[in-house]
Structure 1
Amino acid sequence: MKSIYSFLLTPVIAFVLCAQANAQNNTSNRVKVANGTLEGTTESSGIRSFKGVPFATPPVGDLRWKEPQPAKNWTGIRKADHFGPRAMQRPIFSDMVFRSNGMSEDCLYLNVWTPAKSAKQKLPVLVYFYGGGFVGGDGSEGRYDGEAMARKGVVAVTLSYRLGVFGFMAHPELTKESLHHASGNYGLLDQNAALRWVKQNIAAFGGDPNKITIGGESAGSISVFAQMASPLSKKLIAGAIGESGAMIKPTFTPITLAEGEQRGLAFAEKVNAKTLAELRAMPAEKLLEATGQPGAFSVAGTIDGYFLPETPAAIFAAGKQAHVPLLMGWNSAESSYQGLMGGEAPTPENYKNKLKQLYGERADEVLKFYPGANQEEVIRSATALASDRFIAFSTWKWADFQTKTSTKPVYRYIFSHPRPAAVSQTDNPASSTMPKPMVGAAHATEIEYALGNLPYNKVYAWTKDDEQVSETMLSYFANFVKTGNPNGGNLPKWTPSTGNNPVYFMNIDVNSQLKPEQDRARYLFLEKEYSK
């Protein structure tokens, strides 16, 4: 009889033990923040994640085109096990793979990955802004996933912010109703609101609120630059990472508030809205569809007198930006030679004609810095010039500003490792006839390497070399977030730029190595061009 009871009780005991284990696990995944209690999940690596956490009130209805308002409190346990909706955006970029819960104006959510086992650990924090030209992107994209960074001992945060006309439209009525007499820059203000939320709440996740580094790529890098310049954000951050981009002419050049208001009026006319009230009453989908019309709305940051009291370049030139360690750089082929040549063959004659079209009587001077005596040289120089005109010059100038007007170190890099062939090419017997991988590192290709997220991109046939480059770059970034210095372990030593000392770049590739700056003369030439 005893054996029968034992037989019957065994599954009951197992069930109770399992339930207790699950209850304990749920408890360890619960975090109390200012607005209520969150319940996240634990990854197989042991990293805890909290997704879809509201950092502001949904910017809908009368809150459309207003600066973000504090998140509302909730009662009970809020599940934080899935990403929130991504911001309103058209399907522009084919390389964006979202894990978000649909698309909505209600998009102000953030995600946290933490290795901390308790709230007492005070680990360094990375808040990362996604790229996408301020018209696309989301913090849910796999290439921005924070788990790999968290495994390095960093609390990683991604977020969503308003894009396009929802994030950057200025308008006279908006300016009039604003307590700060400002309009536009709502996407940048969303980022600031997320930073303030992190400052207030990250300790609950085991993060140090006084050790927040901000980072981003392309539009995300431009955002880092803008947050460093803004008096609203500069005191919230302890370090900055910029990957390709700054709000410096010719990249995402900011405009005056008056010009921004005129753009807003022009957009309102295109959608037949006579008042701000009519604009706010329109469905978000209709506004988004309208932005797809040629010339309907052009995104730009505004010198609104509030988030940006003057141009960010002027702020940096005067030394009024955040004085924090900066790690920044760009890729070796941010744009292809076709970005300059268009459909013309890369011959010396065509190249010279293109320079004459662009620079007139100064074309011969341009040739001194970007020579083109033969096709190979034309391809190399046209790639360099197209990259500089697109985003490399603005990034260089950011580093130059910070080196001159701040005493904090600036760590510069060039990412030159090209992606491998696509999986489809390696699996296809006819791959020899398909396009080969681009020579050099194209725009945005470093993201998966820097954040340790190669496995999330299934397009490319990653190799051991790619894994090595990723480990190197991820380690540099993690070290920088922790200490303000990327050096450590067996990594090649990275010398920073400070004051009038010689400038060095870390060339990040399979064999990463420190190299002296060689292209300063051409950037000084471009500096004169863009200052006219």
Structure 2
Amino acid sequence: MRLRPASVRPSRLAVVLLALATCGPAIAQDAPHVAVNGGPLVGKTATVSGVALQEFLGIPYAAAPVGPLRWKPPQPVAGWNEPRKATAFGPRCMQLPLFGDMVFRSRGMSEDCLYLNVWTPAAPAAAKRPVLVYFYGGGFVAGDGSEPRYDGASMASKGLVTVTVNYRLGVFGFLAAPGLAAESPQHATGNYGLLDQVAALRWVRDNIARFGGDPARITIAGESAGSISVSALMTSPLSRQLIAGAIGESGALIAPIAPQPRAAAEATGSAFMAQLHADSIDALRAMPAQALLQATDPQARPAFDFAPDVDGLFLTEAPAETFAHGEQAKVPLLLGSNSQEGFYPAILHDRPPTPANYRAALDALFGDRAAEALRLYPGATADEVKRSATALAGDLFIAHSTWRWMELHRRSGGQPVYFYYYAHPRPARYHPAPGERPDTGAVHSGEIEYALGNLDGNAVYAWTPVDRVVSRTMQGYFAQFVRRGDPNRAGLPAWPAVRESRGGITRQTIDADTRTGIDRGAARQAFLRDFLASHRNPLR
């Protein structure tokens, strides 16, 4: 999985520079250039907020995982000698069009998708710059580093070197099968998409100094599946020494999103192969990528869930166990979730939010523990039902896993943990559907554009001055955390690290009025932890 060491000698570099100066109108003479381990790159320039930047897009960090490399750990990229244009995003990884809010700038879709993108300030750095590596969300089945909401230019304008990474998805990234385990020297199977992320981090470590970045100051970040990835990368023996900080937006690889046992993942893979009448891994590798993709359509029956597992290579145990042992990356952590990760109809199955309907729903979800659930998520009035059922839906979806990550790392990580509650709803759409109203809370993924400074990249919403204030605050926190491992700086509301206070723990509410508050939800989170230890997630 390690990429080949740097091999650019002074004589080769001279050839590269000559080629850049004489290659004609296809490459501007003032275009930025850099030589990485694979070969020379030519990027492009941009200006954001008055800051001159250099952008290098579509950089291959591993070989194309096609043919015999399908379902293999990422392999070293083949080198090149001629200057390679890095001015457009590479292809996105194979995926179905499952999410309507995803907008791609990629060059189509392909199995050949292991590319990353780098944005860096153009001015020479007085010191090596901190690095942000961001992993997209999409449930491990969709997403791409080219999405405008993840664009790295705004963060680069704050003095960071910013990187987005493509990684394999769905059946291509997470198929596990006995035949694949037999091929592996470690008898590992699954998690190829997470192994891609490790390969990208190694590429960043080995090459980022050439873009002005400091390989000793890499902060990893992501939202949803990207956040889940960050929690896993903190615990993997392959990656926990590569990072200096971590940011998680909604999600961790901890119950109710814990990794599958390898045997369960292999059983899913074997059933998938049987469905396709593939009697061997070679037969499965011979199938067209599009046919494999269509066979994973969630509308198909049976439906297959390809997700992270304890594969024996990337993960040797569940992340919750690693955190409990204190063997994770001992780095500062900033994380949180949103006020409307779920919504009350998911609990009530679209029945009216009456106390009676709510109690019946809790009976169905929690059985003989329903009364305990009702005490922790009370519902004596319709308004209280809406609030509590929304909180419960969000917890069972993703907020509980985030809370447990926070609690585990603050107890065993030996580094500050900064916990947030994002509560600012997006504004109205420019062109709402008839009868459509703005969200009442901060929905899942609704913070991304604010955190990365990319409101203007989303033309769907009618952003207001208040939205821009919230974005400046949240982006300011994120950028400062990447710089220092602490989000606090002059001009931002003070944000204390998590500590016990007034019967709860400190937590930063990020909204139009950003402030420090107290999270008193430990009892309900303990209830869910204990319930989920012996039951499946009742919403799945």
Q: TM-score range by the shorter chain?
A: over 0.9
- Mapped pair 1:34 → 2:60: no
Q: Encode CA deviations 1:376-419: one digit per residue, 9 max, x unaligned.
A: 11000000000000000000000000011111000000000000
Aligned to 2:524: 522
- Mapped pair 1:284 → 2:296: no
Larger % of helix: which? 1
Aligned to 1:211: 217
- Of 42, 48, 53 in structure 2, the residue corresponding to residue 47 of structure 1 is 53
Matching residue's letter, 2:101? D
- Separation of aligned partners in 2, 1:508 and 1:116: 32
What SS does structure 1 have at the residue aligned with 2:431?
helix
- Of 390, 395, 408 in structure 1, the residue corresponding to residue 402 of structure 2 is 395
Instruction: Name the count of aligned residue pairs.
Output: 508
Which stretch shows the higher mean deviation, 342-351 or 378-387?
Answer: 342-351
- Of 93, 96, 102 in structure 1, the residue corresponding to residue 99 of structure 2 is 93
Aligned to 2:188: 182
- Separation of aligned partners in 2, 1:298 and 1:77: 41
- Separation of aligned partners in 2, 1:242 and 1:285: 32
- The structural deviation recorded for 1:71 is 1.3
- Of 265, 270, 277 in structure 2, the residue corresponding to residue 265 of structure 1 is 270
- Separation of aligned partners in 2, 1:391 and 1:333: 11
Aligned to 1:457: 458
- Separation of aligned partners in 2, 1:19 and 1:223: 43
Q: Is the 8 A contact 2:176 2:269 kept in 1?
A: yes
- Separation of aligned partners in 2, 1:23 and 1:277: 42
TM-score, structure 2 as length reference: 0.91
1:372-451 maps to which residues of 2 (within 5 A)?
372-425=379-432, 434-451=435-452
- Separation of aligned partners in 2, 1:347 and 1:464: 37
- The structural deviation recorded for 1:117 is 2.9
- The structural deviation recorded for 1:363 is 1.1
Which stretch shows the higher mean deviation, 135-144 or 285-294?
Answer: 285-294
- The structural deviation recorded for 1:258 is 1.6
Aligned to 2:168: 162
Q: Is the 8 A contact 1:52 1:83 kept in 2?
A: yes
1:13-92 maps to which residues of 2 (within 5 A)?
26=29, 29-45=32-48, 46-92=52-98
- Mapped pair 1:336 → 2:343: yes
- Separation of aligned partners in 2, 1:171 and 1:335: 33
- Separation of aligned partners in 1, 2:499 and 2:28: 48
What SS does structure 1 have at the residue aligned with 2:475?
helix
Change (3 A) 1:23 1:53: closer
Change (3 A) 1:412 1:306: same
- The structural deviation recorded for 1:500 is 9.5
- Of 323, 327, 330 in structure 2, the residue corresponding to residue 323 of structure 1 is 330
Q: Encode CA deviations 1:137-164: one digit per residue, 9 max, x unaligned.
A: 0000000000000011110000110000
Give structure 1 stretches of 5+ with no counterpart.
1-17, 426-430
Q: Encode CA deviations 1:189-239: one digit per residue, 9 max, x unaligned.
A: 000000000000000000000000000000000000000010000000000
Q: Percent identity?
A: 54
Matching residue's letter, 1:516? I
Q: Encode CA deviations 1:497-532: one digit per residue, 9 max, x unaligned.
A: 259996211100011001112211111111111222
- Separation of aligned partners in 2, 1:367 and 1:256: 32
- Separation of aligned partners in 1, 2:452 and 2:270: 40
- Of 505, 512, 515 in structure 2, the residue corresponding to residue 513 of structure 1 is 515
- The structural deviation recorded for 1:116 is 4.3
Q: Encode CA deviations 1:274-315: one digit per residue, 9 max, x unaligned.
A: 111100000000000000123332022111111101111101
- Separation of aligned partners in 2, 1:462 and 1:500: 36
Which stretch shows the higher mean deviation, 103-112 or 42-51?
Answer: 42-51
Q: Is the 8 A contact 1:496 1:503 kept in 2?
A: no
Q: Is the 8 A contact 2:255 2:529 kept in 1?
A: no
- The structural deviation recorded for 1:120 is 6.7
Aligned to 1:4: none
What SS does structure 2 have at the residue aligned with 1:531?
helix
- Separation of aligned partners in 2, 1:323 and 1:113: 27
- Separation of aligned partners in 2, 1:482 and 1:186: 30
- Separation of aligned partners in 2, 1:311 and 1:53: 32
Aligned to 2:4: none
Q: Is the 8 A contact 2:499 2:506 kept in 1?
A: no
Q: Encode CA deviations 1:309-335: one digit per residue, 9 max, x unaligned.
A: 111110111001101000000000101
Structure ID, larger Rg: 1
Q: Is the 8 A contact 2:332 2:415 kept in 1?
A: yes
Aligned to 1:8: none
Give structure 2 stretches of 5+ with no counterpart.
1-20, 535-540
- The structural deviation recorded for 1:114 is 0.2
Q: Is the 8 A contact 1:407 1:499 kept in 2?
A: no
Q: Is the 8 A contact 2:505 2:520 kept in 1?
A: no
- Separation of aligned partners in 2, 1:209 and 1:387: 36
- Separation of aligned partners in 2, 1:294 and 1:476: 45
What SS does structure 2 have at the residue aligned with 1:303?
coil
What SS does structure 2 have at the residue aligned with 1:468?
helix
- Separation of aligned partners in 1, 2:516 and 2:462: 28
- Separation of aligned partners in 1, 2:150 and 2:335: 17
Matching residue's letter, 2:213? G
Q: Encode CA deviations 1:26-60: one digit per residue, 9 max, x unaligned.
A: 45500111111100000133111000000000000
Matching residue's letter, 1:388? D
Matching residue's letter, 2:83? I
- Separation of aligned partners in 2, 1:147 and 1:118: 17
Matching residue's letter, 1:312? P
Change (3 A) 1:379 1:66: same
Matching residue's letter, 2:330? H
Aligned to 2:361: 354
Aligned to 2:12: none
- Separation of aligned partners in 1, 2:501 and 2:485: 20
- Separation of aligned partners in 1, 2:23 and 2:67: 44
Q: Is the 8 A contact 2:251 2:402 kept in 1?
A: yes
Aligned to 2:119: 113
- The structural deviation recorded for 1:118 is 3.7
Change (3 A) 1:496 1:25: farther
- The structural deviation recorded for 1:362 is 1.4
What SS does structure 2 have at the residue aligned with 1:88?
coil
Change (3 A) 1:210 1:388: same
Which stretch shows the higher mean deviation, 67-76 or 85-94?
Answer: 67-76
Aligned to 1:9: none
Aligned to 2:147: 141
Which stretch shows the higher mean deviation, 293-302 or 133-142?
Answer: 293-302
Q: Is the 8 A contact 2:136 2:222 kept in 1?
A: yes
- Separation of aligned partners in 1, 2:501 and 2:425: 32
Q: Is the 8 A contact 1:117 1:206 kept in 2?
A: no
Q: Is the 8 A contact 2:31 2:44 kept in 1?
A: no
- Separation of aligned partners in 1, 2:103 and 2:517: 35
